[in-house]
Chain A
Amino acid sequence: SAVISQKPSRDICQRGTSLTIQCQVDSQVTMMFWYRQQPGQSLTLIATANQGSEATYESGFVIDKFPISRPNLTFSTLTVSNMSPEDSSIYLCSVGQENQFFGPGTRLTVL
């Protein structure tokens, strides 16, 4: 299994600002995934990030709100733009194919 780290682990942000979340993997991986987990809820896939191509977004998520970078095979960032309190969630990255392994998550609170 891969070892995945995320930064920051948590943050409190003001409405209207943006936050960039980093995901680092200890091995090269083709696909990385970004999920959102709203308080007490399940996980919802935001987008799939492949190195060297544009991220693929799921229904209900758009690039302007959640821009993603994937500069190499071990790193990705997710930006939550123009934040509102509704964006308060845990954001998780994962890697793998059938067996996906998750990072510890970034707990975001928007005031």
Chain B
Amino acid sequence: QQQVKQSPQSLIVQKGGIPIINCAYENTAFDYFPWYQQFPGKGPALLIAIRPDVSEKKEGRFTISFNKSAKQFSLHIMDSQPGDSATYFCAASMGGGSEKLVFGKGTKLTVNP
């Protein structure tokens, strides 16, 4: 049973575009939602994270939007660059001493020059 659903599976945008990756969850016990970026041959790297009591969080060109009532959250990449081409994973954890991460299936992003 997949607890975090991620879409789309792949995404191609032009340089300067704003790719949007969406995730949805069902378990309301989740209270921490990080995003990871993974380049080929590398381990995932933490990009940005949000809690459900915040509707939006920005860090540089990366923005998370969170809709608690819909149990959905999304990653927006502003002014995307070819160097942003990577696989992006959303994840969720319950906190409260349980740090286990449940990952979405990933989105392969390609930013064309």
Contacts and interface: CB of A to CB of B under 8 A. Distances in A.
Contact of B105 (A4, A41, A94): A41
B99 to A, nearest CB: 5
A43 B61 CA distance: 25
Interface stretch (A13-21, A64-72, A73-81, A101-109): A101-109
Interface residues of A, number: 24
B43 A45 contact: no
Contacts, number: 54
B43 A98 contact: no
Contacts of B46: 1, 99-101
Contacts of A105: 41-43
Contacts of A102: 36, 43-45
Interface string B69-99: 0000000000000000000010001010001
B13 interface: no
B34 to A, nearest CB: 7
Given A42-B89, A42-B106, A48-B100, A99 B34 contact: yes
24 contacts: A4-B43, A41-B106, A42-B89, A42-B105, A42-B106, A43-B44, A43-B89, A43-B101, A43-B103, A44-B103, A45-B101, A45-B102, A92-B43, A98-B32, A99-B34, A99-B46, A100-B101, A102-B36, A102-B43, A102-B45, A104-B43, A105-B41, A105-B42, A107-B41
Q: Which 4 A-B pairs have the closest CB atoms?
A: A102-B43, A42-B103, A42-B105, A43-B103
Interface of B: 32, 34, 36, 41-46, 49, 89, 93, 95, 99-106
